Amino acid sequence: MTAKFERIAAECHSPGERGMRLPPSSMAFFTRWEDAVLRMGWLPIAGVVVLWAGAAAAEVGMRALAFTDPADGGMTRAVVWYPTNAPETPVRRGPFTFQVAEGGPVAEGRHPLVVVSHGSGGSAFGHADTAMALARRGYVVAAVHHRGNAFDDDRDAGTERMWRKRPAQLSATLDHLLAEPELADRLDGERVGALGFSAGGYTVLVAAGGVAELGRIAAHCRTPPAGERFCHLGNEETQARVEARDPRIRAAVLMAPVGVPFSRDGLAGVTIPIRLYRAERDEQIAASQVEDLRDRLPVPPEYEVVRDAGHFAFLMPVPAAIAAEVGPPAWDPPGFDRTAFHERLNAEIADFFDRALAIERQGR
């Protein structure tokens, strides 16, 4: 990650995000019928379909939380976006301006929840536009800031600790949200999805029931596919297995995921519906990682190859004025329009979670 990108991320993250609860002023901002359902793995929860009356709240609220990291007792953070009826105002964070209602109350009702896991060295705010799009559809979205493998603390990158801590942090985020006094009564804990990008895709797969065999990473990286840059995360020899299923997660979206730690047997427990994306011109994750994952999953996922996209196409678009200085996270192959792609991506992700979590909306 470039120094410019780290500086921008630091500007967006407030230095106040260290306490257990953050005030709005310190918040930072950085997707026959029954037979078909069974064949595709979309099992309505307890046979019930939620019917959302009317349109979701049109406004998006935002708040930041901090809580104990289960790995070592330190503090980890999450940013939460949600539907609200409070008025939005322009909020500038670093080079970005967002329309959000900082600290506004969560709209009435019980809302489905999506937890988000960013990529290695990334930020909780890397998928902010997707989170906001989901919030406008009625979801509460919580993005964990992976302490030890984030832009501001990447000490665990490429180690066994990184691969172990990530799923634990994701589940701890869910634990905290479902116990948070101002949020718990507004959440539908039976309708929980997860979204992960790159190493975040690995994280979500483990939480979804995958068993990761870390020795497969080093073996892969002894003779990596030509041009693949992933192997800076495969520099530790270990035969450890990571198993951390969170049964609360009922559906998942994986974007350019790290797939090499998972064998067919290791994926046998992943039976929830999955939407899987591969970037056609991914310079970080070889096509074989994603294709093998697709072929090994016991329930065939919804699968799309995003034409002309590079690895970072799934990150929030960066203003053109600073893209050159930010470096690779902001760059796209010639002819690829990230902004246009995200308009489609965000709608596809919301539609997928609606189907997979058995949510129907009036007027649709």
Q: What is the pLDDT of residue 184?
A: 93
Give domain limits for the chain. Answer: 3-359
Residue environment code for 300-335, b if the CB has 16+ CB neighbours within 10 A, otherwise e? ebebeebeebbbbbbbbbbeeeeeeebeebbbbeee
194 versus 75: the higher-pLDDT residue is 194
pLDDT in tens, 109-125: 999 999 999 999 999 99
Q: What is the pLDDT of residue 56?
A: 53
- 62-71, 225-234, 275-284: segment of lowest average pLDDT: 225-234
Highest mean pLDDT (candidates 19-28, 94-103, 142-151):
142-151
Give the side-chain half-sphere CA count within 13 A for 134. 33
pLDDT in tens, 239-261: 899 999 999 999 999 999 999 99
Encoded amino acid at 3, one letter: A
Pseudo-torsion of CA 119, 274, 30, 62, nearest 10°?
Answer: -150
Task: Please say if the pLDDT value at position 308 is more than 80.
Answer: yes
**What percentage of the chain has pLDDT greater than the value 70?**
82
Q: What is the pLDDT of residue 58?
A: 76
pLDDT in tens, 160-192: 999 999 999 999 999 999 999 889 999 999 999
Do 270 and 292 form a contact (C-beta atoms < 8 A)?
no
Q: What is the pLDDT of residue 122?
A: 94
Q: Which pLDDT band, with edges at 50, 70 and 90, does 13 fall under?
A: low
Task: Please say if the pLDDT value at position 34 is more than 80.
Answer: no
- Which strands make up the sheet holding 274-279, listed edge to edge? 89-93, 96-102, 59-68, 75-84, 140-145, 111-117, 187-197, 249-255, 274-279, 302-306
Q: What is the pLDDT of residue 25?
A: 26
DSSP 42: -
Compute the average pLDDT of residues 182-211: 97
Q: Which pLDDT band, with edges at 50, 70 and 90, does 98 fall under?
A: confident
Task: Please say if the pLDDT value at position 46 is more than 80.
Answer: no
Q: Which pairs count as long-range contacts for 346-351, CB under 8 Å and 24+ apart, including other chains?
A: 346/31, 346/129, 346/130, 346/133, 346/134, 347/133, 348/31, 348/275, 349/31, 349/130, 349/133, 349/134, 349/195, 349/253, 349/275, 350/31, 350/133, 350/134, 350/137, 350/139
pLDDT in tens, 321-356: 888 878 889 999 999 999 999 999 999 999 999 999
Encoded amino acid at 78, one letter: A
Q: What is the pLDDT of residue 234?
A: 67
Compute the average pLDDT of residues 286-290: 97
Give the side-chain half-sphere CA count within 13 A for 317. 16
Rounded-to-integer distance, Cα 325 and Cα 175, Å: 38
Q: What's the mean per-residue pLDDT of the chain?
A: 84
Going from the C-alpha of 16 to that of each of 13, 25, 26, 42, the distances in angstroms are: 8, 9, 6, 42
> What CATH number labels 3-359?
3.40.50.1820
Q: What is the pLDDT of residue 226?
A: 80
Q: What is the pLDDT of residue 92?
A: 80
Q: Which pLDDT band, with edges at 50, 70 and 90, does 40 fall under?
A: very low
